[in-house]
Amino acid sequence: MMKAFTKQSLLEADSAFRRDLINSLSGYKSLNLIGTKSKTGQTNLSPFSQVFHIGATPPLVGILFRPHTVERHTLENILQTEYFTLNHVHESFYQQAHQTAARYKGSEFAATGLEETYKNDFFAPFVAGSPVQLACTLVEKQTLQVNGTVLIIASIEEVYVDAEGLRADGSLDLEVLGTVTVSGLDEYYVGKRLAKLSYPKPGKDLEVLI
């Protein structure tokens, strides 16, 4: 049985109910920890579920920052220094990743026990043990008129990936990598593969590749 809501009934619903439902509607979301460092040397780490592919040539990534949220240190550091890292959350540390969203005064690395690490003289810290780590630099910032959401576009300068999860064709095996996905604001999952499918063409049956 389908339960129906109109925009009006959503706006009249309890605000926590509305927030939890609307945040769940897009389905499973990418989960990344963004690592930054302020100009004064204070590191910051925060979970983000709004990271997405913008282009491969050149490699570009986009991130949406909600207006007036706890992640503002991350956005301020990116705008001021132009450097940040993206780090997949491994199932061994998803609870620490969730805890980085608490309103700490100091670094979330120290507070949660996640270890910061540096590579190749890149300014921003990576998360040690993360199976996929990206070094990114700011390219473009846009603010959405509708509600002040900020869209950041960044260049992917370096990629570090656990070799066990990197296939010869370039695709990643997220099960082998132990990458975690999030639903809504607080619910974490790992993936169970259905299949990797062949390129779809009219009149041709799909093949299960893996």
- Within positions 119 to 138, which residues make up the interface with a second copy, using CB under 8 A? 132-134
Tell me how far, at minimum, the Cβ of 170 lies from a second copy, in Å: 4
Do the beta carbons of residue 130 and residue 87 sit within 8 Å? yes
Complete DSSP assignment for 8-74: HHHHHS-HHHHHHHHHHTT-SB--EEEEEE-TTS-EEEEEES-EEEEEETTEEEEEEE-TTSTTHHH
Q: Which is nearer to a second copy, 39 or 92 (CB)?
A: 92
Q: What is the spatial distance between Cα 163 and Cα 183, in angstroms, rounded to a whole number?
A: 27
Dihedrals phi, psi of 103, to nearest 5 degrees: -85, 80
Tell me how far, at minimum, the Cβ of 17 lies from a second copy, in Å: 4
Q: What is the spatial distance between Cα 158 and Cα 113, in angstroms, rounded to a whole number?
A: 25
Residue 25 lies near a second copy (rule: CB under 8 A) = yes
Q: Which is nearer to a second copy, 31 or 78 (CB)?
A: 31
Q: Report the site for a second copy in 135-174 (rule: CB under 8 A).
A: 139-140, 142, 144-147, 149, 151, 153, 155-164, 166, 169-172, 174
Q: Which is nearer to a second copy, 35 or 39 (CB)?
A: 35
Candidates 9-17, 35-43, 76-84 — which segment interacts with a second copy by CB under 8 A?
A: 9-17
Q: Which is nearer to a second copy, 40 or 103 (CB)?
A: 103
Residue with tokens 């790992």: 190
- Tell me how many residues contact a second copy (CB under 8 A): 114
